[in-house]
Each structure stands twice: as structure tokens, then as C-alpha cells.
Amino acid sequence: MNYRQPILIWLGLLALLALTVGLNVLMTGPWRPLLHYVIATAMAALLMVFFMRLRASDGLIRLFAVGGVLWLGLLILITLAEVLTR
Amino acid sequence: MPIVKPAPAEQFDDMGQQRRAVLMGMWVFLVTELLLFGGGFAMFAMYRVQHPQVFAEAAGHLSLPLATANTVLLLTSGLTMALAEQAVEAGSRRLTLVFYLATMALGLGFLGVKGYEWYQEWQAQLMPLPGLVFAWPGNESQQAELFFNLYFILTGLHALHMVIGLGLLGVMVVLVQRWRDPHRLTRQTQVSGLYWAFVDVIWLFLFTTLYLLGP
């Protein structure tokens, strides 16, 4: 069994969590939310690529995964565009 | 005892095709789940943009330490689930059971902490339910109530998924205990692992959206 890779990914996830919580405590200003979402996306990517095995999946499954995220992005983006341009 | 070669179900040409179809089906299901949560996230984003101040203030009333502890529990359960997948592929029944049970314990821990958080919010009179008093110590009480409505809907929906995930893992523990068809168990474990990791991914964005966008 290969314990090394999952444990490294887990440590990476914990480090990113510490970073985002640290930022929350220490940083103020308009850029903080953006950084929180960048870190959350990085953590989600680690989970999806390694724990959900996108790295070893065929192209079609990757396409579905990207498609799901893309549609969700459109849903939120267009909703916000409507609210912000009222 | 003769070694039985795994045979695909009738509608598939070979095991590879069956395996790909199983994983694809699960991904399609998870994408529909993503859109279920996505509606909630879009709604939250819309109101967050409209009422930035009171939403930030309301986020400050949630417990960041408890939520951080919960994130650690959930990320660790993601690790034990990934290890369960490796163990079942390596053919170790005992290790697979150990990692499944560890994942369940961590998941139960998460629900315990979440329940305690809800209890605290109920005590602070921040639970917007019919029949309960919602006492907001500030201005724009209605908008604060909106925040807590969304908070309880989103974390409640996520907790429901955790309960379903725990049920799924409970069934898997019984199946691993019996250890009848290791190839099938491998596929079932991969599918369970996808579901569990998905619930983990959703939590990361709930954590960011609800707890980290404070004042």
C-alpha cells in the first residue's frame, strides 16, 4: 500500500486550512475574501485530483467534473451580474 | 479452489467498461448534487452582495474555532477514506475495515461538533425557526435572520448528506465484513469514496462562505 501520497495530500490540505484561518485572523481589507476562495479552490482541487482520482480518470470523467464546476460558475456569475447591475 | 475471473454484468463488454460506467454514473450524480448546493450558494452570494455589512456581522457570531476543528475532522476522514480505497485494492480485509470505521468515527465526530454549534446558536437565540424568538443584538434584524436561515439550510443540507454518507459507509462495513466479491467491493468503495470526498469539497466552500467572510 502506498500511504505516502494520501498523507502528503492530507498534510497539504491542513497547511492550506491553517493558512486560510490565519489570514482570517490577521488580515483585513477587500482582498481577503478573494484569497479565502483561492485557497478553498486549491483545497478542493487537491481533493478532486487525488482523493477523487481525477488524475487517473479518463478524459470523459474529467470533462464532466469541469462541466459541473463551469455550470455552477455560470449560475453564480449571472445571478450576481443581475444583482450588481440593477 | 479455482480462481474465478470477475465477469462483467450482462450489459457490459468487459470489466474495464463496467468500471468506467460505474465511475461516470457517480460523477454525473455528483454534478447534479453540486447544482443542488449551487442554488443555495447562488442565493447566499446574492444576499451577501446586497447586505454586506450585516452578513459579515452575522458571520462573526458563528464559532470559527469549532468550524475549523470540524474541517480538520472532515479532511482527516477524507484521508482515511482514501486509505480504505487503497486497502481494499490491496486485498486487506482487516485494514479496509479499520479505515472504514475510522472514517465513520471522524464523520460522527463532525456531526457531534456541528450539533453542539447548533445548540450554541439556539441558546444565543439565533435560530430562526417558527415558535422560537430570534434576538439579534444589532440593526437590520431581518437581514440577519436571512443570514441564519441560509446558514441553517446550507449546513443542514450538508449534515443530511453526512448522515446519508455514514449510512452508506455502514452498509460498506457489513459488505467488507463478508468479503464476498473483492472486485465488486473495490468498485463500491471507489463510489463511496467519491461521495465522501464530494461532501468534503462542499464543506470547504460552506466553511469559506459562512465562517470566513466575517468582519
C-beta separation of B44 from B53 below 8 A:
no
All structural domains of chain B, each given as residue ranges with its CATH number in brackets, are 23-211 (1.20.120.80)
- pLDDT tens digits, chain A, 86 residues: what are they? 789 999 999 999 999 999 999 999 999 888 999 999 999 999 999 999 999 999 988 899 999 999 999 999 999 999 999 999 98
Residue A29: its pLDDT value, please?
86
ipTM: 0.95
Alpha-carbon distance of B212 to B209, in angstroms, equals 6
Nearest residue, CB atoms, B35 vs list A6, A64, A72: A72
Provide the 8-state DSSP code for A49.
Answer: I
Determine the average pLDDT of the residues in B16-27.
93
Res B27 pLDDT > 90: yes
All residues of chain A having their beta carbon less than 8 Å from the beta carbon of residue B201 are: 44, 47-48
Residue A72: its pLDDT value, please?
94
pLDDT band at B4 (very low <50, low <70, confident <90, very high): low
pLDDT (tens digit per residue) in B91-113:
999 999 999 999 999 999 999 99
- Chain B closest CA to A35's CA: distance in Å? 10
Closest of B120, B94, B100 to residue B166, by C-alpha: B100
pLDDT (tens digit per residue) in B40-63:
999 999 999 999 999 999 999 999
Return the number of other C-beta atoms located less than 10 Å from residue B82's C-beta. 26
Nearest residue, CB atoms, A61 vs list B27, B86, B87: B27
Residue B67: its pLDDT value, please?
98
Which grid cell is B19?
468500471
